[in-house]
Amino acid sequence: MASGGKGLLAGSFLRAAALGLVVLASAAPVARSWSKEGHMMTCQIAQGLLEPDAAHAVRNLLPEDVGGDLSALCVWPDQVRHWYKYRWTGPLHFIDTPDKACTFDYSRDCHGPDGAKDMCVAGAIANFTSQLLHYKHGSADRKYNLTEALLFLSHFMGDVHQPMHVGFTSDQGGNSIDLRWFRHKSNLHHVWDREIIQTALAEFYDKDMGTFRKQLEHNLTKGTWSDDVSSWGDCEDLLSCPTKYATESINLACKWAYSGVHGGETLSNDYFDSRLPIVSRRIAQGGVRLAMFLNRIFSQHNRDVAAPS
Ligand SMILES: *[C@@H]1O[C@H](CO)[C@@H](O)[C@H](O)[C@H]1NC(C)=O
Ligand SMILES: *[C@@H]1O[C@H](CO)[C@@H](O)[C@H](O)[C@H]1NC(C)=O
Ligand SMILES: *[C@@H]1O[C@H](CO)[C@@H](O)[C@H](O)[C@H]1NC(C)=O
């Protein structure tokens, strides 16, 4: 039994919560993750770029109650990470790298707190990608729950693009750098997880995530990034590309997140204005790359190879 509900909740409500359909008002604030909006926009951008085979597979794997909307469950891994059954997934949301090194080295850095190999966000993306590649083997006899694999892959593709999810070890990716965001207390990790996104939503988009997302999509297809986008999807080997994304993140973390910031200070307009374009680009990149992964995982070729129909 999941520990999250503590018997205060009726069974059906708990089940809905398990599927991420209900956000518990009492849930502890989540540390170390793109805000709900960051994850949802990444997943919506990705779903809009799916080719028919992948769109079909995603629809098949999602529980019926979400009506085919991947983004409705993209925050699910954050909702369950403190439950007993899913506690092992905690380390999969981030990577701790050596202080000030500003590099990511998979064999040095991708491990859990107890040293368990591959237990980091880059390892998790590879893990759930290889599980999903077995989707072609048909529905019977599955070793893994591929619905969960899809939700984990979609979530972690977002996380690996959040620069501060690949941060320094001693400050826990900025979590222990307390400061102020405009008038309220926050920390450097949270600024990158949610404050910048929330401030942008309030300032420019009337708190409407759909408008923000459409702007991102516009910039992908016709705007500032349209020349770059095709290179974002470059990837020879799906299982090793997460290393590239994590390396980009620690580089951005050093250049834009940590640089010049001291605990105790107040970050406001200057920081917001100069960092919002970075955050926006990472959300869009996560979406484009999640689509690329899903399109390749579920390509017709894969299905033909495996499943006689
Ligand atoms: C891969 O997923 C399985 C469960 O689906 C889990 O037992 C294993 O620890 C995971 N490894 C990583 C690196 O995510
Ligand atoms: C797969 O995981 C989802 C989400 O945890 C769960 O609702 C579903 O029942 C699981 N499916 C199987 C076959 O265990
Ligand atoms: C889209 O690009 C324009 C022009 O560079 C920029 O001003 C705007 O902030 C961008 N919007 C988003 C959401 O990235």
Q: pLDDT band for 22, please (50, 70, 90 cuts).
A: very low
Rounded to the nearest integer, the mean pLDDT of the chain is: 88
pLDDT at 248: 98
CA–CA distance, 225 with 303 (Å, rounded to integer):
33
Cβ atoms 149, 60 nearer than 8 A: no
Token pair of 35 as six digits = 């805000």
Question: Which has the closest alpha carbon to 74: 150, 132, 131?
Answer: 150
Burial of 271 (0-12, 13-18, 19+ CB in 10 A): buried
Cβ atoms 112, 119 nearer than 8 A: yes
Residues with Cβ < 8 Å from 156, sequence gap 6 or more?
A: 77, 92, 93, 121, 124, 125, 128
CA–CA distance, 137 with 132 (Å, rounded to integer):
10
| Domains (range + CATH), the chain | 27-298 (1.10.575.10)
SS3 helix, strand, coil % of the chain, rounded to 5? 60, 5, 35
Ligand 1 pocket residue status of 239, Cβ below 6 Å:
no
Q: How much is the average pLDDT of 294-303?
A: 81
167 DSSP β-pair partners: 96
Which whole-number Å values give the CA distances from 145 to 132, 134, 280, in the listed order?
9, 11, 32
* Tens digit of each residue's pLDDT (9 = 90 or more) over 91-106: 999 999 999 999 999 9
Q: pLDDT band for 9, please (50, 70, 90 cuts).
A: very low
Ligand 1 pocket residue status of 124, Cβ below 6 Å:
yes
pTM (2 d.p.): 0.89
User: What separation in Å is there between the alpha carbon of 231 and the centre of ligand 2?
Assistant: 35
For ligand 1, atom 12, name the residue with the nearest CA: 124
User: What separation in Å is there between the alpha carbon of 274 and the centre of ligand 1?
Assistant: 37
Q: Is it the case that residue 15 has pLDDT exceeding 60? A: no
pLDDT at 3: 37
* Tens digit of each residue's pLDDT (9 = 90 or more) over 225-278: 988 999 999 999 999 999 999 999 999 999 999 999 999 999 999 999 999 999
* Tens digit of each residue's pLDDT (9 = 90 or more) over 153-164: 999 999 999 999
User: What separation in Å is there between the alpha carbon of 144 and the centre of ligand 2?
Assistant: 10
pLDDT at 54: 97
Share of the chain above pLDDT 70, in %: 84
97 DSSP β-pair partners: 168
* Tens digit of each residue's pLDDT (9 = 90 or more) over 29-86: 445 578 899 999 999 999 999 999 999 999 999 999 999 999 999 999 999 999 999 9
For ligand 1, atom 3, name the residue with the nearest CA: 127
For ligand 3, atom 12, name the residue with the nearest CA: 216
Ligand 3 pocket residue status of 215, Cβ below 6 Å:
yes
- Give the number of the ligand closest to the Cα of residue 216: 3
For ligand 2, atom 12, name the residue with the nearest CA: 145
Strands, E assignment, 188-276: 266-267
Cβ atoms 104, 96 nearer than 8 A: no
- How does strand 266-267 pair with strand 178-181? parallel
Atom of ligand 3 nearest to the CA of 215: 13
Which whole-number Å values give the CA distances from 100 to 103, 108, 116, 120, 163, in the listed order?
8, 15, 23, 19, 14
Q: Is it the case that residue 184 has pLDDT exceeding 90? A: yes
Q: Give kind and range of the element (H or E) at residue 117.
A: none
